A and B are shown apart, each in its own frame.
Chain A
Amino acid sequence: MPYRILLLFAHPRFEDSRTHQALVNAAKEIPDIRIRDLYELYPDFNIDVSVEKDQLLQHDIILWQHPLYWYSCPPLLKQWIDMVLEFGWAYGPGGEALAGKYFLQVVSSGGSREVYSPEGRNRHTIREYLYPFEQTVRLCKATYLPPFLVQGTHKLGEVEIASYAMDYTRFLKYLQHDGPISDLSGFESSNLWLATRNETR
């Protein structure tokens, strides 16, 4: 039985984002992935918590797909985390609803991998900037998987974006069929794991 994937997508200016349009279109091609476009659903930030909780319960792997703004997610996704992951439901005493599920971030950043490194201008890796999300997932007794990253988007051309989209498709299919593959957790990012799969094939 395939793994049930929920893609929670948050982008305040989706219509202007070449990268995310390519990624979302790729995800749409794959059957049985539930995509929820948060900015389209909740333009007034009035999140329907019970619907969101219900969605979480119906899926095994939850993806947070968003651009990186000021080293964090767009505000609506933060709002989503604040509202939906309730005390006593997602964490704290009796908060077992998400136990055993998997969370994975799909993040785009304008700066390249070099910029996000101890030697680079941003001084830390993206993985380090995403620690709050990793810890959030951990607190909910779920497993945080290495993020799928699209970096240096400012300089990406059409061809490169298309190749990212193809990688995304392949990755989502792996996730759907094989689940969180046992050696995935050891990698810095899902992209790197995907690269090893490429070589072994």
Chain B
Amino acid sequence: MEGNFLLQSIVFLTAAVICVPIAKKLGMSSVLGYLLAGILIGPYVLGFIGGEGGDIMHFAEFGVVMMLFLIGLELDPARFWKMRKLVLGMGLAQMALTTIFLVAALWVADWSWQSSLAIGLAFSMSSTAIVLQTMKEKNQLHTTGGQSAFSTLLFQDIAVIPILALLPLLATRTNHLSGSSHQLLPENTPAWLHAGVVIAAILLVVLAGRYLIVPLLRVIAKTHLRELFTASALLLVVSIALLMEMVGLSPALGTFLAGVVLANSEFRHELESDLDPFKGLLLGLFFLSVGAAIDLQLIGRQPLFFLSILGAVVGLKAAVLWSVGKIFRLRNDQNRLYTLSMSQVGEFAFVLLSFMGTLQILTGETLNMGMALTAMSMTLTPVLLLINDRLLIPRFGRQKKEEKGADFIDQRHPVIIAGFGHFGSTIGRFLRANGVQAVYLDHDSDQVELLRKLGFNVFYGDASRADLLEAAGAKEARILISAIDNPVANRQLIHTVQKHFPHLKVFARARNRYDASDLYDAGLEEVYRESLDTSIRLGVDVLKWLGHRAYSATRSGQNFRKYDEEALRELLTTRHDDKQYISLARKQIEQQEQLLRAERFEKTATGDHAWDSEPMRQAARKKSVE
């Protein structure tokens, strides 16, 4: 058994290590990489894993359990309150409409209303894991589309609780609770009693979270043993999972609930950071098992039937999402992001489906079909988003500009600022205070709207697109300031500028030393590390507090900055001869080491000799002796 476990770990890890980098290299999100890896090692391709599907589900279940605990933790009430209108409005509209249409369609196909409603509710869910992970990777969470997606997902997450309570009431036959050996309830429990037990268990988790777990964590925190805290966090998750299993509820839901309850407590961040290392790995594991769970045989038997059902489900979900986006006045591009990223059936459907299986609302083939549909629709999402990025944005982005006159940039200014976040807006305010007019580009349409009202020349659009830059007057402008938050987007922009507008003088924001190295390598001269000036200023102020003279500290800071810039340039000139770096991390450590070593010899603090009178004193003394 033990050897088996190790072997399985090796299979999972190897598949991930091979597939995810390949997916990233091809410009896909890591989610798709994991899914493909899962399919690859699953029972129907290579068959490394799960001739007995139970093993995989076992793995997957725990991944979902952990993930949902963390998602629950991130849903702090304050954030929820701020988004309540969006959550209730978009979420309710999306779920209600999707469910109604699905139920109607299934009813026409002569299903019982109970099964139709159960399937409708399950399939109205989208995948929090896929959407949040993908958007985080692509830096889209703060866009309007991203916020809408988050709100809708939040509503769905919450809706799971009443749905789970509702499902037993939909059971047509007397219950045969089978499967788990830890069942608390005897067989043949009537539906109303089961529903009552479920509600009691949920209440227990909520109350325990508030009045038992938090005081307990306080005691444990006082021991100041970090690993003990981590251990208790894990214990918490596992025991809630067990409790839920005992009453026949999904462990994932229980821990999700516990997470939400604890999001309120002072230990939220502690728990988050302690469990964070597990999170990425478990998410990967989850996606892997989703991939492996796809029943390719079932699909293979009736491929056309399966594909048309899949198309119908995803299409229907997308149509509803698009209409909801329209009702809430999302711009076309943001609505496309919202619609495509949310069009899959989410992981909660697994939970709901298996619960339906337990309750015998669904059986056999239909259940497997539902599972396969869910998994395949999840696999489809990264592909759809890829199509959006590569094909739709370039085409419809242009169209959009024509239809919306306001985004046509008619004023010509000498300076273009790309990225109007905190960094870019500070530059913009400073330039404006000095009478320099600039054109601003940003890709968050809401932000653009707001700043336009304040009288800034802000325009919506992806600044790395040559046509938008040209519309912004890049041909007539003299300077481009690249101030986008995301270093990758920044580099793309610079690449475009160098290719299409070589006459522009580029001033670039760099996140850190390594980012700056890349920009210098790209041939830029004006590179501004956001971490350099501020940290030196802080250092100078520390020196002042320690009693150093303000002017000497300031001079030393100036010298250090100059020295640090020069040292970086120096490193870059020597770096390329050296092919020994096996990884970026190694290279970065090497850079740090070289800088630190050099500093020991170079005392930047005493760079000033102008006012040093000691040599003069010595010379004067010598003279008088002679």
Residues of B within 8 A of A76 (CB): 551
Q: Interface centre among A43, A67, A76, by most B CB within 10 Å?
A: A43
Interface pair B621/A16, CB less than 8 Å apart: no
Against B, the Cβ 8 Å flags (1 = close, 0 = not) of A11-42 are 11111110000000000000000000001110
Interface pair A154/B616, CB less than 8 Å apart: yes
Interface pair A17/B621, CB less than 8 Å apart: no
Query: B553 contacts the other chain (Cβ, under 8 Å)?
Result: yes
Query: B608 contacts the other chain (Cβ, under 8 Å)?
Result: yes
Interface pair B621/A39, CB less than 8 Å apart: no
Interface pair B553/A155, CB less than 8 Å apart: no
Known: A14-B549, A15-B552. A154 touches B612 (CB 8 A): no
Against A, the Cβ 8 Å flags (1 = close, 0 = not) of B528-556 are 00000000000000000000111111110
Query: A69 contacts the other chain (Cβ, under 8 Å)?
Result: yes
Residues of B within 8 A of A153 (CB): 613
Interface pair B612/A16, CB less than 8 Å apart: yes
A153 to B612 CA separation, bound complex (whole angstroms): 13
Instruction: Give the Cβ gap from A47 to chain B, nearest Cβ, in Å.
Output: 13
Residues of B within 8 A of A155 (CB): 617, 620-621, 624
Interface pair B611/A13, CB less than 8 Å apart: yes
A173 to B612 CA separation, bound complex (whole angstroms): 32
A74: nearest chain-B partner, CB-CB? B611
Interface pair B616/A39, CB less than 8 Å apart: no
Interface pair B612/A39, CB less than 8 Å apart: no
Interface pair B621/A154, CB less than 8 Å apart: yes
Residues of A within 8 A of B612 (CB): 13, 16
Against A, the Cβ 8 Å flags (1 = close, 0 = not) of B420-447 are 0000000000000000000000000000
Instruction: Give the Cβ gap from B617 to chain A, nearest Cβ, in Å.
Output: 5
Query: A183 contacts the other chain (Cβ, under 8 Å)?
Result: no
Q: How many residues of A contact B (CB 8 A)?
A: 20
A85 to B610 CA separation, bound complex (whole angstroms): 27
Interface pair A154/B613, CB less than 8 Å apart: yes
Taking CB atoms and an 8 Å cut-off, the chain A residues in 38-56 that contact chain B are: 39-41, 43-44
Instruction: Give the Cβ gap from A114 to chain B, nearest Cβ, in Å.
Output: 12
Known: A12-B611, A16-B613, A110-B613. A39 touches B550 (CB 8 A): yes
Instruction: Give the Cβ gap from A144 to chain B, nearest Cβ, in Å.
Output: 26
Known: A69-B611, A110-B613, A154-B613. A12 touches B551 (CB 8 A): yes
Residues of A within 8 A of B551 (CB): 12, 39-40, 43, 76
A190 to B612 CA separation, bound complex (whole angstroms): 28
A13: nearest chain-B partner, CB-CB? B611
Known: A39-B549, A43-B553, A44-B554. A13 touches B608 (CB 8 A): yes
Against A, the Cβ 8 Å flags (1 = close, 0 = not) of B134-158 are 0000000000000000000000000
Against A, the Cβ 8 Å flags (1 = close, 0 = not) of B555-573 are 1000000000000000000
Interface pair A110/B549, CB less than 8 Å apart: no
Interface pair A43/B554, CB less than 8 Å apart: yes
Residues of A within 8 A of B624 (CB): 155
Taking CB atoms and an 8 Å cut-off, the chain A residues in 130-166 that contact chain B are: 153-155
Residues of A within 8 A of B613 (CB): 13, 16-17, 110, 153-154
Interface pair A40/B549, CB less than 8 Å apart: yes
A40 to B549 CA separation, bound complex (whole angstroms): 6
Interface pair A40/B620, CB less than 8 Å apart: no
Known: A12-B611, A16-B611, A69-B611. A154 touches B620 (CB 8 A): yes
Known: A16-B612, A69-B611. A154 touches B617 (CB 8 A): yes
A67 to B614 CA separation, bound complex (whole angstroms): 14
Q: Interface centre among A15, A69, A154, by most B CB within 10 Å?
A: A154
Interface pair A13/B621, CB less than 8 Å apart: no
Instruction: Give the Cβ gap from B444 to chain A, nearest Cβ, in Å.
Output: 35
A155 to B618 CA separation, bound complex (whole angstroms): 9
Interface pair A40/B617, CB less than 8 Å apart: no
Against B, the Cβ 8 Å flags (1 = close, 0 = not) of A75-100 are 01000000000000000000000000
Interface pair A15/B611, CB less than 8 Å apart: no
Interface pair B620/A110, CB less than 8 Å apart: yes
Residues of B within 8 A of A44 (CB): 554
Residues of B within 8 A of A110 (CB): 613, 616, 620
A152: nearest chain-B partner, CB-CB? B620
10 A-B Cβ contacts within 8 A? A13-B612, A15-B552, A39-B549, A39-B550, A40-B551, A43-B554, A76-B551, A110-B620, A155-B620, A155-B621
- List A residues at the B interface (Cβ < 8 Å): 11-17, 39-41, 43-44, 67, 69, 74, 76, 110, 153-155
Closest 3 CB pairs of A and B: A43-B554, A154-B620, A13-B611
Question: 9 new A-B pairs (CB below 8 Å) besides A11-B611, A12-B551, A12-B608?
Answer: A12-B610, A16-B611, A16-B612, A16-B614, A39-B549, A39-B551, A40-B550, A43-B550, A43-B554
